[in-house]
């Protein structure tokens, strides 16, 4: 990092936020995090938090992920290049103190082109989580497998679909968040996905790749940040994303 992270956060260009208030004229409170294993939609990312991650750390991680998405949305507005969106996403996380590793996108073979995206990405996610045995306990895997039975009007699906759309297809991420007390770090095991198509894609998880001759690309990566660094930037990041929380963060009940 070549510049002060707090100054970087304060000066970062973001889209215009929608102003929402309650009947009393106050902004509604953002969703809160607990201490058990839980899953949330953070914009275009499904983030699974493990019990090792404290509630305050979960909020800070979600805010960082949302900040990176918002800045990427602003920087790539109108552009068909999904990879440019991801370049900005990674740049923001690095500049606020996250270390990123292994974010090389590769074409992903799909066994059944008529399968929905939620089915097509399961092998990629399973591999990233360390194989079928470890993936069996993943809340993200459970959600993807049970998506057909869920109400498409569910608030988190609305958030995820709206945030995933892109002029030239779609982009979204799946992340497993853990903390290592001994090392003093929070780690996100990330699967980043991009769908390159001839037009903007809606209802991305239900989208069939064969319908638009779309190209699915995926990257496995790891993000990590020290407890002290996360705490140092938490207030500044929270202040920037606060106007966006209600429209971009939704808890997922299983």
Least confident range from 17-31, 77-91, 139-153: namely 17-31
pLDDT digits (tens, 9 = 90+) for 164-212: 999 888 999 999 999 999 999 999 999 999 988 888 888 888 888 776 6
**Triad 203, 209, 210: Cα angle to 5°:** 125
Q: Which residues pair with 47 in a beta bridge?
A: 40, 175
Rounded distance between C-alpha atoms, residue 131 and residue 122, angstroms: 11
Tell me the average pLDDT across 110-130.
Answer: 77
pLDDT tens digits, one per residue of 28-55: 677 799 999 999 999 999 999 999 999 9
Angstrom distance (rounded) from CA 128 to CA 143: 16
Q: Give the span between the Cα atoms of 101 and 114, in whole angstroms.
A: 32
Predicted confidence at residue 109, as pLDDT, reads 67
> Running DSSP on this structure, what letter comes out for residue 33?
-
Which pLDDT value is given to residue 25?
Answer: 62
Q: Of all residues in the chain, what percent carry a pLDDT higher than 90? A: 57
Whether the per-residue pLDDT at 128 is higher than 90: the answer is no
**Residue 151: pLDDT band by 50, 70, 90 thresholds?**
confident
Which residue's structure tokens are 């001994």? 182
d(CA 81, CA 154): 29
Tokens of 246: 């209600």
H/E stretch holding 45 reads strand 45-49
What percent of the chain is modeled with pLDDT above 70?
92
Q: How far apart are CA 70 and CA 241, in angstroms?
A: 8
Is 114's pLDDT higher than 80? no
Start-to-end Cα distance in the chain: 39
- The sign of the dihedral angle between the CA atoms of 111, 220, 49, 86 is negative
Strands (E), 126-240: 165-166, 169-180, 185-196, 215-226
**Rounded CA gap, 166 and 79, in Å?**
8
Angle at which helices 227-241 and 55-75 pack, to 10 degrees?
A: 60
Taking 90 as the threshold, does the pLDDT of residue 65 lie above it? yes
CA–CA separation, 49 vs 196, rounded Å? 29
pLDDT number for residue 37: 97
Q: Which band of pLDDT confidence, cut at 50, 70 and 90, is reported for residue 233? A: very high
Query: pTM of the entire structure?
Result: 0.91
Please, which pLDDT band fits residue 111 given cuts at 50, 70 and 90?
low
* CA distance linking residue 129 with residue 124, whole number of Å: 9
What local confidence, expressed as pLDDT, does residue 21 receive? 57
Question: How high is the pLDDT of residue 240?
Answer: 98
Mean pLDDT of 216-221: 90
pLDDT band at 24 (very low <50, low <70, confident <90, very high): low
CB 194 within 8 Å of CB 170: yes
Distance CA 88, CA 68 (A): 7
Tokens of 76: 């790539």
């Amino acid at each position: 990092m070549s510049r002060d992270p707090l100054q970087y956060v304060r000066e970062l260009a973001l889209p215009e936020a929608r102003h929402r208030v309650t009947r009393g004229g106050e902004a509604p409170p953002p969703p809160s995090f607990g201490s058990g294993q839980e899953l949330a939609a953070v914009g275009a990312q499904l983030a699974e938090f493990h019990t090792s991650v404290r509630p305050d750390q979960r909020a800070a991680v979600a805010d960082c992920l949302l900040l990176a998405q918002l800045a990427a949305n602003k920087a790539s507005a109108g552009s068909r290049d999904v990879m440019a969106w991801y370049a900005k996403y990674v740049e923001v996380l690095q500049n606020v103190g996250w270390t990123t590793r292994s974010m090389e996108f590769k074409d992903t073979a799909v066994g059944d082109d008529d399968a929905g995206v939620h089915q097509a990405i399961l092998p990629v996610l399973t591999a990233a989580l360390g194989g079928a045995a470890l993936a069996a306990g993943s809340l993200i895997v459970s959600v993807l497998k049970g998506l057909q039975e869920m109400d498409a009007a569910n608030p988190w699906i609305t958030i995820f679909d709206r945030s995933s759309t892109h002029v030239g297809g779609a982009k979204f991420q799946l992340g497993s968040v853990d903390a290592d007390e001994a090392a003093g770090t929070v780690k996100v095991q990330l699967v980043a996905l991009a769908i390159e198509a001839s037009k903007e894609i809606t209802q991305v998880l239900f989208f069939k790749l064969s319908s638009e001759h779309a190209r699915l690309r995926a990257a496995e990566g790891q993000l990590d940040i020290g407890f002290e660094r996360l705490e140092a930037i938490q207030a500044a990041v929270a202040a920037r994303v606060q106007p966006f929380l209600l429209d971009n963060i939704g808890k997922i009940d299983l």
